[in-house]
Amino acid sequence: MPLIVMCGYPCSGKTRRAEELKVYLEENTERKVHVVGDEALGVEKNTVYADSQKEKNVRAALKAEVERKVNKDDIVILDSLNYIKGYRYELFCLIKHTQTPHCLVYCLTSDQVSSRWNTDRDAAEQYTQEIFDALVLRFEAPDSRNRWDSPLFTILQDDTLPFDAISDALFKRKAPPPNQSTQSQPLSSANFLYELDKITQDVLMAIFNAQKTSVPGDLVSVPGATEKIELTRSINMAELRKLRRQFISYTKMHPTENTGQLANMFVQYLNKSLH
């Protein structure tokens, strides 16, 4: 059943809006509503968001919990920052795989308002100013032109949630289909699978070798692609292999007849996932 992804600055009202949605959906549908979020995981925000690896682990845990709870009967609300576009793209891939609708609810506030709301919290619940400022700086605002950010509902501080419109997006809209995955000829072609495997492996090796002489911030050229990898940090082979497996799985479900674009598609996927 549908997934609702909350998004916004720290202390922008996401949890309050998630609770409003939960109450409305429980009262107006016969479905269970699960809220997945930092609180349920017992996340210590100032510790986690100060450490990129810990933050990455939390995002993975949240995504895994969403995947466990998404089923044909229930509604899942993901109440977290969800501020990285690559992570929202991963969630979009997940709902395409499970063939369930989703929408994004963006709690739009200024950093000044969110900062004030942060200082109004109990001391134990506050972000430190340093962490708060860093998260605001890293925030990647959703854009309805992106498939993974659509349908998008932008909610201002004093707005009433558009419950009817959100319900229509979840229950009257078809789930994104696995783009002709059962009908496409390229998927059944041994040549397509061979090209997919070879091209993605060549890209991985190019990145791995380039890192020996490059520094964060460099652009790395890879075989067969016009676009370049943006190296913002060091990436180990285990992480690259995991992303390659995810891309291959996704591409098998959404094959392209133009295998010449596979390298560029993989580069785009890596750039979104690694940022």
User: Same structural domain for residues 177 and 195?
Assistant: no
Q: Where does a domain end: 130, 161, 182?
A: 182
Give the count of domains, the chain. 2
CB 21 within 8 A of CB 161: yes
User: Same structural domain for residues 39 and 68?
Assistant: yes
Domain carrying residue 35: 3-182
- DSSP E strands: which ranges in the chain? 3-8, 33-37, 75-79, 102-107, 152-155, 219-220, 229-230
Q: Where does a domain end: 163, 182, 201?
A: 182
Q: Where does a domain end: 131, 165, 182?
A: 182
CATH code at position 76: 3.40.50.300
* Residue pLDDT, tens place only, 134-154: 999 999 999 888 889 999 999
Q: Which residues of the chain have pLDDT under 70?
A: 1, 176-191, 257
- pTM given for the model: 0.65
CB 118 within 8 A of CB 127: yes
User: Same structural domain for residues 67 and 36?
Assistant: yes
Tell me what pLDDT residue 178 has.
56
User: Same structural domain for residues 100 and 224?
Assistant: no
User: Same structural domain for residues 132 and 156?
Assistant: yes
User: Same structural domain for residues 153 and 195?
Assistant: no
Tell me what pLDDT residue 12 has.
96
Report the Cα 229 to chain-centroid distance in Å. Answer: 19
Tell me what pLDDT residue 65 has.
93
User: Same structural domain for residues 50 and 96?
Assistant: yes
